[in-house]
Amino acid sequence: MPSGKICGLTVKDVRFPTSLEQHGSDAMHTDPDYSAAYVIIETDSGMRGFGLTFTVGRGTEIVVCAVEALRPLVLGKSLDEITADFRSFYRLLTSDGQMRWVGPEKGVIHLATAAVLNAVWDLWARAEGKEPEKLVSCIDFRYISDALTEEEALDILHKGQEGKQQREEDMLREGYPAYTTSCAWLGYTDQQLTQLCSKALADGWTAFKVKVGAELDDDIRRCRLIRQMIGPEKFLMIDANQRWDVGEAVAWVTHLSEFQPLWVEEPTSPDDILGHAHISKALAPLGIGVASGEQCHNRVMFKQFLQASALQFVQIDSCRVGSVNENLAILIMASKFNVPVCPHAGGVGLCELVQHLILFDYICVSTSLDKRMCEYVDHLHEHFKNPTLIRNAHYMPPVVPGFSSEMVESSVDKHTYPHGEVWRSMNQL
Ligand SMILES: C[C@H](O)[C@@H](O)CC(=O)C(=O)O
Ligand SMILES: [Mg+2]
């Protein structure tokens, strides 16, 4: 069916009051209300694409404004026209001569770009069969060609075609390995942590992430509790959400090294590439890697993190950078530098979207599961039409065409800020 021209773009400010129960809390985001700028694009032939970007409450209205500002660049284009030269469409959004000043390719405007492009990919994902050449033509190599050329990217994707069918079958049977962050948000009590951890163990989880960084004594107590419960073999990861200076990070994590974390996540400012390199070097003898990416602006930053050996785990995010286009570049660069990708997920909708990217990474790019797993957080999936399916701590591949980004209409209505039922009733309290 011809896709027609894009004739409508709607954006909604959807917020969930997760801070009430401290879901999602960490050392820097103590009261997150998981939220989304949720985009619906419509074509004049009646097709719809759904996209979103993730936020944590206040400020979502600014992302909504930024999406509105991008609208004129999208309206009137047809899907065929966009996908015939997706690289140029990507540049149209990210390099607009006036709007790039409020980025470029970072911050609010890039979150908005992610939401819009995620909707375009959702629309496109309904059509099947994207060959390596087509995928590479979606990537903007500007600013990364010194680390990855178009030819190298194509070569990596061509190599990824070998054994593809077997890997697809493996995924359909076993799913993609996941880890959980749901047991140990920073605001949870020890009792909650114990209960959730024993339930997760019973459900078959083998890797657990703990929030750290506010008080060292609390971190020691909580990590000890979890390590005792999960035993020496299972994986434990710690996440500081950018709380420390570089030296402080090394000292703090050294104190926690007895609990053998596989990685420390976002130990310091997400912009500090050389700082991460220093921390990586200092922690390597302790067998602890450094992970980051959920607040990494774009492919250019990832390139430098990789060039500087500043990360041992790349955490792509489906809604932070420029959608599939930019994540393709990051996945392929990570493969070239031989650094495993372990995506950031959770939030609202992040698991739904990123599962597509990590399955693609395994099937077509890295072709390996070594040191790889995808984050899972057990909140808010009921608000999606095709929620993630977890079986025995593995993501089972989605079977419905699209980016799994469509939300349940009544959920959107109820949670639209500030006039949806949920927010109106809370404001009356
Ligand atoms: C504010 C978010 O919940 C953040 O803590 C998520 C995160 O760092 C993670 O899942 O990793
Ligand atoms: Mg994190």
- Secondary structure (3-state) at 355: helix
Q: Is 158 a catalytic site residue?
A: no
Minimum CA distance residue for ligand 1 atom 3: 24
CATH of the domain spanning 5-148: 3.30.390.10
DSSP string covering 7-37:
EEEEEEEEE--GGGGTTT--SS-SS---EEE
What residues have CB less than 8 Å from 2, skipping those under 6 apart?
45, 80
Number of residues written out for the chain: 429
What pLDDT is stored for residue 131 in this prediction?
85
Question: Which residues, 6+ apart, have CB-to-CB distance to 4 below 8 Å?
Answer: 43, 44, 45, 46, 47, 78, 79
- Predicted local confidence at residue 129, as pLDDT: 61
Contact yes or no for 186/211 (Cβ under 8 A): yes
Pairing outcome for strands 48-55 and 35-43: antiparallel
> Which residues on neighbouring strands pair with residue 211, listed in sequence order?
239
pLDDT, residue 3, reads 72
Q: Say if residues 283 and 250 touch (Cβ distance below 8 Å).
A: yes
- Rounded mean pLDDT of the chain? 97
Helix (H/G/I), strand (E/B), else coil: 288: coil
Q: Where are the domains of the chain?
A: 5-148, 163-410
- Closest ligand 1 atom to residue 32 Cα is 1
pLDDT at 366: 98
The CATH number of the structural domain formed by 163-410 is 3.20.20.120
- Sorting pLDDT into bands at 50, 70 and 90, what band is 2? low
Average pLDDT of the residues in 280-287: 98
237 pLDDT more than 90: yes
pLDDT of residue 130: 75
Ligand 1 centroid to 188 CA: how many Å?
A: 14
- Residues with Cβ within 8 Å of 74's Cβ and at least 6 positions away in sequence, in order, are 6, 9, 41, 93, 116, 120
Ligand 1 touching residue 180 (CB < 6 A): no
Residue-wise burial string across 18-54, b where 16 or more C-beta atoms lie within 10 A, e elsewhere: bbeebbbbbbebeebbbbbbbbbbbbeeebbbbbbbb
The pLDDT tens digits for 179-211 are: 999 999 999 999 999 999 999 999 999 999 999
Give the number of whichever ligand sits closest to the CA of residue 375.
1
243 lines ligand 1 (CB under 6 A): no
pLDDT level of residue 7 (50, 70, 90 thresholds): very high
The DSSP letter of residue 365 is I
DSSP letter assigned to residue 38 = E
Mutate-to-test residue for ligand 1 from 60, 186, 294, highest number of ligand atoms within 8 A of CB: 294
Give 384-418 pLDDT, tens digit per residue: 999 999 999 999 999 999 999 999 999 999 999 99
Query: Does ligand 1 lie within 6 Å of residue 239's CB atom?
Result: yes
Catalytic option among 110, 211, 297, 379: 211
- Residue with token string 């996945």: 331
Q: Which residue of the set 297, 303, 344, 383 is catalytic?
A: 344
Q: Whose CA is nearest to atom 6 of ligand 1?
A: 24
Atom 2 of ligand 1: nearest residue by CA position: 24
Residue 421 CA to ligand 1 centre (angstroms): 26
Q: What percentage of residues in the chain have a pLDDT greater than 90?
A: 96
Ligand 1 site-directed mutation target among 180, 241, 354, most atoms within 8 Å of CB:
241
Instruction: Give the confidence band of 37 by pLDDT, cuts at 50, 70, 90.
Output: very high
pLDDT range class, residue 127, cuts 50, 70, 90: low
- C-alpha distances in Å from residue 188, one per residue of 85, 109, 207: 48, 33, 18
**Active-site residue flag, 211:** yes
104 near 300, Cβ under 8 Å?
Answer: no
Distance, CA of 284 to CA of 280 (rounded, Å): 6
Question: 294: Cβ below 6 Å to ligand 1?
Answer: yes
* Token pair for 315: 């955490």
Ligand 1: centre distance to CA 27 (Å): 10
CA–CA dist 386, 406 (Å, integer): 7
What is the chain's alpha carbon radius of gyration, rounded to the nearest angstrom?
A: 21
- Specify the residue with its C-alpha closest to ligand 1, atom 8: 241
Would you say the pTM of this structure is higher than 0.90?
yes
> Does 256 have pLDDT greater than 60?
yes
Region 270-299 average pLDDT: 98
> Mean pLDDT, to the nearest integer, of 240-251?
98
* Span 348-393, pLDDT tens digits: 999 999 999 999 999 999 999 999 999 999 999 999 999 999 999 9
- What is the pLDDT at residue 126? 72
Distance from the CA of 207 to the center of ligand 1, in angstroms?
Answer: 16
Residue 274, classified by CB atoms within 10 Å of its CB into exposed (0-12), middle (13-18) or buried (19+), is exposed
Q: What share of the chain is helix, strand, coil (3-state, %, to 5)?
A: 45, 15, 40
Please work out whether the CB of residue 343 comes within 6 Å of at least one atom of ligand 1: no
